[in-house]
Structures are given as structure tokens and as C-alpha cells.
Amino acid sequence: MKKFSSGALLFAVLFLVTHFSEARLQVCKPSGKIIGKKPPPGQCNQENQSDCCKQGKSYTTYKCSPSVSGSTNAVLTINSFENGGDGGAPSECDNKYHSDNTPVVALSTGWYNGGSRCLNNITMTANGRSVTAMVVDECDSTMGCDDDHDYQPPCDNNIVDASKAVWKALGVSGNVGELDITWSDA
């Protein structure tokens, strides 16, 4: 009467569900932790919501980011890529500073992908608006809380750290600190 036992059917369903969710998720696992050191006096420029490491606090590090699709979820943060801004050193891709009025971004380590997206453009969407900006730097997910990173914590693995021009184009003031967006390679 029945062609398949319910056991076999259940097995088949479980197999398919596990198989497809594994392929789809491609989980990016933490690579380690660093313990925060207190910034020396005068270090950690707190201009525009920059976070400073806290003594003894544990920060998770990542060498990977969530996989990129045609519409990748990310968290937008604000950064100044200007000389003397909270970004610190010149941008890694071109060894230059960039005006707050130019749409440029830094990507979390996994998405920065060793510089493979350097000087390429990405399109970000939020609020029903879109803006295209050039990738000029890495938002380091592997290190932080040291002199090189102005005593700021490591970046999360899903960050697009953007100049004021990007926020303006999306119709949002950077004062909100963080904004959920999607992005894709332009």
C-alpha cells in the first residue's frame, strides 16, 4: 500500500533540510579573542561614536565575514578618512586620506578579502535609497585595542564603515551610530 515507510520519508526530509541549510548558512566562526587594554592618555579619538577598548573586556575576533550575495546584510558605521580623523592612518588601499564629502568605505576583514575589493565600488541600500562608494580600507576584525588601531575594538565581521557622504546620500545623519543596510558589488 504505502510505497515508503514514514521512517524513510522522515530520513529523506531531515537529510534535505540539513544539507541545504548547511550550504546556505556557511557560518563564519570567531577566530579568537583579545582582552582590552586601557587606552593611554590622549589615545582613542572618540570623535563620532568611536568605541574605545575597555580594560579587561573580552573582544571576539574574526578572519571571515558572512558570505556575499546580491544583497548582503551589514551594519553601517561612520568613520572619518580625513587626516586627523578617527580613522588614524591613511587608507590601506591607496595610502591616501579621503574627504568626509567623498563616498568611501572600509569593509570588515572577510569582505575586504586581502584587498581584492580595493578601489572597487559597492552599492549600499537602506531607507529605500542607494549610494555607491569606493572601498579604500579594511575594518580590521582580527585585531584591535592597540596603538595601530587607536585603541578601538576589533570590527565586527559584518561592518561597512562609511564616510559622512555615504550617510548623507542614504538620508541619515551619522549621529544614529549604526544602521542596518544591504550591499552588493557595484
Residues in contact with ligand NAG by the rule CB under 6 A: 47-48, 78, 80, 100, 119-121, 134, 164, 174
With left for phi above 0 and alpha for psi between -120 and 50, is residue 22 left, alpha or beta?
alpha
Of the pair 154, 174, the CB lying nearest ligand NAG is at 174
- Residue 157, classified by CB atoms within 10 Å of its CB into exposed (0-12), middle (13-18) or buried (19+), is buried
CB atoms near residue 8 (< 10 Å)? 11
Of the pair 134, 181, the CB lying nearest ligand NAG is at 134
Q: Are strands 58-61 and 121-126 parallel, antiparallel or unpaired?
A: unpaired
Of the pair 16, 176, the CB lying nearest ligand NAG is at 176
Least Å distance between CB 47 and ligand NAG? 5
Of the pair 18, 120, the CB lying nearest ligand NAG is at 120
Least Å distance between CB 11 and ligand NAG? 49
Of the pair 46, 55, the CB lying nearest ligand NAG is at 46
Least Å distance between CB 36 and ligand NAG? 23
Residue 163 pairs in a beta bridge with none
DSSP-derived secondary structure letter, 132:
E
DSSP-derived secondary structure letter, 24:
H
109 and 117 Cβ atoms separated by less than 8 Å: no
Least Å distance between CB 134 and ligand NAG? 5
Q: Are strands 159-162 and 72-78 parallel, antiparallel or unpaired?
A: parallel
Least Å distance between CB 13 and ligand NAG? 45
